[in-house]
A and B are shown apart, each in its own frame.
Chain A
Amino acid sequence: MTQTLLEFRNIVKRFGGVTALDDFSMRLGRAEILGLIGPNGSGKTTSFNVLTGIYPATAGQVLFDGQDITNAAARAVYEAGIVRTFQRSRLCLPLSIYDNIMIGDTARLTGSLWSNLISRKRLHGQIDASYRLARDLVGSFSGHLADRMDQPVGALPMIERRRIEICRALISGPRLLLLDEPSAGMTHDETHQLMDDILAVRARGAGLSIIIVEHEMGVIERITDRCIVLSYGRKIAEGTYAEVAADAEVQNAYLGAD
Chain B
Amino acid sequence: MTDLPISSPASAARPWAAGAAVIVAAGVYAWALLMAEETWQVTGLLALAVAAVLAALKTGFARRLHQDWSASETRLNRLAFATLIVLIFVLSDAHFALLMVATTLLYFTASMGLNIQFGFAGMANFAGAAFFGAGAYTAAVLGTVTAVPPLLTLALGGGVALVLSLPLLLPIVRTTGHYAAVVTIAFGVLFRTFLEVNEILGGPQGLMVAPMRLFGWDFNSAPVIGGYEMSFYVNYALLAAALAGLVFMLMRRLERSWIGLHMDAVRLDETAAACFGISVTRTKVTAFLMGNAILGVSGALYGMMISFIAPASFTFSDSLLMVSIVLLGGLGSLWGGAVAAAIVVLLPEKLQLLQEYRFLLFSILVILVLLFRPDGILPRPMRSFFASRRAGK
Interface residues of A in 72-87 (CB under 8 A from B): 73-75, 77-79, 83-84, 86
Q: Which of A99-148 contact B (CB under 8 A)?
A: 99, 102-104, 106-107, 109-111, 113, 116-117, 120, 123-124, 126-128, 131-132, 147-148
A54 CB within 8 Å of chain B: yes
Contact count A vs B, C-beta below 8 Å: 103
Residue A39 CB within 8 A of the other chain: no
A138 to B243, CA, bound (A): 41
Find out whether the CB atom of B278 lies under 8 angstroms from the CB atom of A103.
yes
Given A83-B275, A117-B253, A147-B7, A103 contacting B261 (CB threshold 8 A): yes
B243-260 vs A, CB cutoff 8 Å, 1 = contact: the mask equals 000000010011001111
Report whether A111 and B258 are in contact in the complex, using a CB–CB cutoff of 8 Å. Answer: yes
* Residue A56 interfacial (CB < 8 Å): no
Q: Report how far A123 CA is from B4 CA in the complex, Å.
A: 16
Q: Assess the A102–B271 pair: CB atoms within 8 A.
A: no
| B253 neighbours in A (Cβ, 8 Å) | 116-117, 120
Do A106 and B277 have beta carbons less than 8 Å apart? yes
Quote the shortest CB–CB distance from B274 to chain A (angstroms).
4
Is the pair A102, B275 in contact by a Cβ cutoff of 8 Å? no
B307 to A: closest C-beta gap in Å: 33
Chain B residues, Cβ within 8 Å of A236: none
B4 touches A113 (CB 8 A): no
Whether A90 sits at the interface, judged by CB under 8 Å, is yes
Q: Answer yes or no: A93 CB below 8 A from chain B CBs.
A: yes
**Roughly how many angstroms separate A109 CA and B278 CA in the complex, as a whole number?**
10
Asked if A95 CB lies within 8 Å of chain B CBs, one says: yes
Q: Do A73 and B274 touch (CB < 8 A)?
A: yes
Q: Using C-beta atoms within 8 Å of the partner chain, give the interface range for chain B.
A: 20 to 34
A152 interface hit (Cβ, 8 Å): yes
Give the distance in Å from the alpha carbon of A145 to the alpha carbon of B291 in the complex. 36
* Chain A residue at minimum C-beta to C-beta distance from B273: A103
Complex: how many Å from CA A52 to CA B268?
Answer: 19
Please give, as numbers and ranges, the residues of chain B lying within 8 Å of A90 by CB-CB distance: 269, 271-272
Of chain A, the residue at the smallest CB distance from B279 is A75
B255 → chain A closest CB, angstroms: 10
Check B7 against A54 for contact (C-beta < 8 Å). no
Residues of chain A within 8 A of B5, CB atoms compared: 147
A209 to chain B minimum Cβ distance, whole angstroms, is 17
Distance between B290 CB and nearest chain A CB, rounded to angstroms: 8
**Hey, which chain A residues are within 8 Å of B11, CB to CB?**
none
Contact partner, B278, options A75, A96, A148, A172, Cβ 8 Å: A75
Give the one of B4, B254, B257, B279 with max A CB within 10 A.
B257
Chain A residues whose C-beta falls within 8 Å of the C-beta of B261 in the assembled complex: 95, 99, 102-103
Q: A98 CA to B265 CA in the complex, in Å? A: 13
A94–B263 alpha-carbon span in the complex (Å): 13
A158 interfacial by beta-carbon distance below 8 Å: no
Q: Say yes or no: A123-B276 contact (C-beta < 8 A), given A54-B271, A94-B268, A150-B384.
A: no
Tell me the complex Cα distance, A51–B275, Å. Answer: 11
Partner of A79, one of B2, B4, B277: B277
A109 to B259, alpha carbons, bound, how many Å?
9
Q: Is A162 among interface residues, defined by CB-CB distance under 8 A?
A: no
Task: Give the CA-CA distance A91 to B262 in the complex, in Å.
Answer: 13
Nearest Cβ distance between residue A18 and chain B, in whole angstroms? 21
User: Which size class do A's interface residues fall under?
Assistant: 35 or more
Let me know if B258 and A110 touch, CB within 8 A: yes
CB–CB B274/A102 < 8 A = no
A79→B269 CA distance, assembly (Å): 19
B2, B6, B258, B386: which has the most chain A beta carbons within 10 Å? B258
| Contact status A150-B6, CB under 8 Å | yes
Does chain A have a CB within 8 A of B389?
A: yes
B224 at the binding interface (Cβ < 8 Å): no
A74 to B386, CA, bound (A): 31
Chain B contacts of A124 at CB under 8 A?
Answer: 389
A86 close to B272 (CB less than 8 A): yes
Pairwise interchain contact A113-B389, C-beta atoms closer than 8 A: no
CB-based contact B275/A74 at 8 Å: yes
- A116-B258, A147-B7 as given contacts; A78 in contact with B275, CB under 8 Å: yes
Q: Are A107 and B277 in contact (CB under 8 A)?
A: yes
Point out the residue from A53, A99, A117 that lies within 8 Å of B250, measured CB to CB: A117
List B residues at the A interface (Cβ < 8 Å): 2, 4-7, 250, 253-254, 257-262, 264-265, 268-269, 271-279, 286, 382-386, 389
21 contacts between A and B (CB under 8 A): A53-B274, A54-B275, A74-B271, A78-B277, A90-B271, A92-B264, A92-B265, A92-B272, A95-B261, A96-B382, A102-B258, A104-B276, A107-B277, A113-B286, A116-B258, A117-B257, A117-B259, A123-B258, A128-B2, A150-B6, A150-B7
Instruction: Please name 13 further chain A to chain B contacts, defined as beta carbons within 8 Å, in addition to the given A106-B277, A110-B259, A116-B253, sorted by A numbering.
Output: A75-B277, A78-B275, A78-B277, A84-B275, A90-B269, A90-B272, A98-B385, A106-B276, A107-B277, A116-B258, A117-B250, A120-B257, A131-B385
Interface residues of A (CB under 8 A from B): 52-54, 73-75, 77-79, 83-84, 86, 90-96, 98-99, 102-104, 106-107, 109-111, 113, 116-117, 120, 123-124, 126-128, 131-132, 147-148, 150, 152, 168, 172
What 3 A-B pairs come out closest when comparing CB atoms? Answer: A116-B257, A74-B274, A78-B277
